Amino acid sequence: MLEWSEEVTIIPNFPYTMSRQTSTMTISLPEDLKQFVKKRSLTAHYGTPSDYTRGLIREDLKRLEQERLEQELLKGLRSGKGIPMTQEAWKQLRTEAASRIRAKRSS
C-alpha cells in the first residue's frame, strides 16, 4: 500500500444524490438574474431554480477539489521526494484503485 508522508485536507465529496433533508437560504438577485435562473433551470433540465442552484454549488465543490488536488500534486513534484514508479508500484497502484472503485460501487 502506498502511504502519504504529509496530511492532506480533502474537501468533502458530495454525491449527486444528496440528503433530502434541506434548510432554506434566501438570496437576493437583480430581476435579470432571477429570470435567467428560472429560464436556465428549465432549459438545463433542472426541476426548479433550487435544483439549478444546488447543481452550481456541486460543480463549484468539484472545481475546488480539483484545484486542491492540483496544488498537492505540484507540491509533491516540487518537493523532490517521490515514490519510484517501478512496474510493481504501478501494479500496486492499479490494484488499489480497482479495489476502491469496486468498494464504492457496491456501497
**Mean pLDDT of the 38-56 span:** 92
pLDDT of residue 14: 52
pLDDT of residue 2: 45
pLDDT of residue 79: 86
- Total residue length of the chain: 107
Whole-prediction pTM? 0.58
**11 neighbors 68 (Cβ within 8 angstroms):** yes
Q: What percent of the chain has pLDDT over 90?
A: 48
Confidence of residue 34 (pLDDT cuts 50, 70, 90): very high
DSSP for 11-51, please give it. PPPPPSS--S----------HHHHHHHHHHHHHTT-SSHHH
**Mean pLDDT of the 57-73 span:** 92
Q: From CA 73, how far away is CA 29, in angstroms rounded?
A: 38
Q: From CA 45, how far away is CA 96, in angstroms rounded?
A: 37
Interval 1-30: pLDDT, tens: 445 455 545 555 555 555 668 888 899 999
Confidence of residue 82 (pLDDT cuts 50, 70, 90): confident
